[in-house]
Structure 1
Amino acid sequence: MSDDSAAAIRDTRKDFMTEHREMYLRSGGAQGHILDISAVGGHSFTTHCMIRYTGRKSGKTFITPLIYGDIGGEVVIVASKGGADEHPAWYLNIRDSDHVEFQIATQAFRGTWREPEGEEREKVWRFVVDAFPSYATYQASTERLIPLVMMKAVEPIAVFKESDATGVRQL
């Protein structure tokens, strides 16, 4: 898939993604954790987390909602960017960080992150494709290997607020 095609997908979902992020933040996580995304190839009961990270170039703080799964006591997120030929900015930013901050429903954490490799990666990939089948289509449309990020909570932190974000992610 070209970056232009991926951009078209993001434009179609831009309002939804912005509204989702705002709903999640404004409710403190009471809303937005579970959404019906069957209209875009997902399931009617799909879990979403938020990640908070610092821009490696801008130094601004961003908050991004993402589909997640829990596998083996770790939270897995997928750097798909709709099958674009380049990695999403959030992935590049956390890749340059020693830790990650994430919120699941009404609980937020500072944690560690890693990328699974080899046989473990294959197992995790099958798990995320089962959770959101479009990931397989995204992978087939790009030559890059779509990264998987495994996060493990280390300590609880305050839930995210709209005012935490000093930058607005371009969707």
Structure 2
Amino acid sequence: MALKPGDGGSVEISPTGWVAEQAQLYEESGGTKGTTLHGAPCLLLDYVGRRTGAVRRTVLIYGRDGDDYLIVASKGGSDDHPLWYLNLVDQPDVSIRVGTERFPAHAETLSPEEKARVWPHLVEVFPPYADYQKKTERDIPVVRLRHTDR
């Protein structure tokens, strides 16, 4: 299923309370409120559930690499990948909202070399990422979101 912005239909927001509240504020304000978390910039990620086919939404901190957006599948340093990441691996076509702009994007997990290059920038954007990586033996994936309408 190709996910396109403005398709309409229902979107399931994260069941995590603070994420749901921030996602709702972000979307209802048209991207003018709820755009940061602990001082770091956030985006809304709409993706397709790999088992249900439902469109889901979460809020994620992002960094930049040129025109692309970078998100970190940290799950706070858990030994398991976040569910949104598993869904992106199966269905990499997503929709994101960054501020007032919403657009389609393609998600791709970075290679170890690419991750090593951008990781210092991501830790600068959100310093706890360094501690999250130390908490787990799992290599925390970094995902590139590339605008597909350009």
If the TM-score is normalised by the length of the shorter chain, which range does it land in?
A: 0.7 to 0.9
- Which of structure 1's runs of 4+ aligned residues deviate more than 6 A? none
1:113 is paired with a residue of what secondary structure? strand
Task: Tell me which of 77, 82, 85 is aligned to 1:91.
Answer: 85
Asked if 1:24 corresponds to 2:50, the answer is no
Point out where structure 2 has 5 or more consecutive residues left out of the alignment. Answer: 1-15
Return closer, same or farther for 1:17/1:117 CA change in 2, 3 Å cut-off. same
Task: Tell me how large the CA RMSD over aligned residues is.
Answer: 1.5
1:19 is paired with a residue of what secondary structure? helix
**Structure 2 length normalisation: TM-score?**
0.83
The alignment-based identity, stated in percent, is 39
**Structure 1 length normalisation: TM-score?**
0.73
- 1:39-118 alignment to 2 at 5 Å? 44=39, 46-118=40-112
Higher helix residue share: 1
Higher strand residue share: 2
Q: Are the equivalent residues in 1 in contact too, given 2:48–2:94 (CA < 8 A)?
A: no
Q: Are the equivalent residues in 2 in contact too, given 1:112–1:152 (CA < 8 A)?
A: yes
Q: Are the equivalent residues in 1 in contact too, given 2:47–2:93 (CA < 8 A)?
A: no
Q: Which residue of 2 aligns with 1:130?
A: 124
2:149 is paired with a residue of what secondary structure? strand
2:27 is paired with a residue of what secondary structure? helix
Q: 2:22 and 2:107 mapped to 1: Cα distance?
A: 24
Amino acid aligned to 2:32: A
Deviation by residue 1:137-158 (Cα, 9 ceiling, x = unmatched): 11111111000000111128xx
Q: Are the equivalent residues in 1 in contact too, given 2:92–2:108 (CA < 8 A)?
A: no
Q: 2:149 and 2:57 mapped to 1: Cα distance?
A: 19
Point out where structure 1 has 5 or more consecutive residues left out of the alignment. Answer: 1-13, 38-43, 157-171
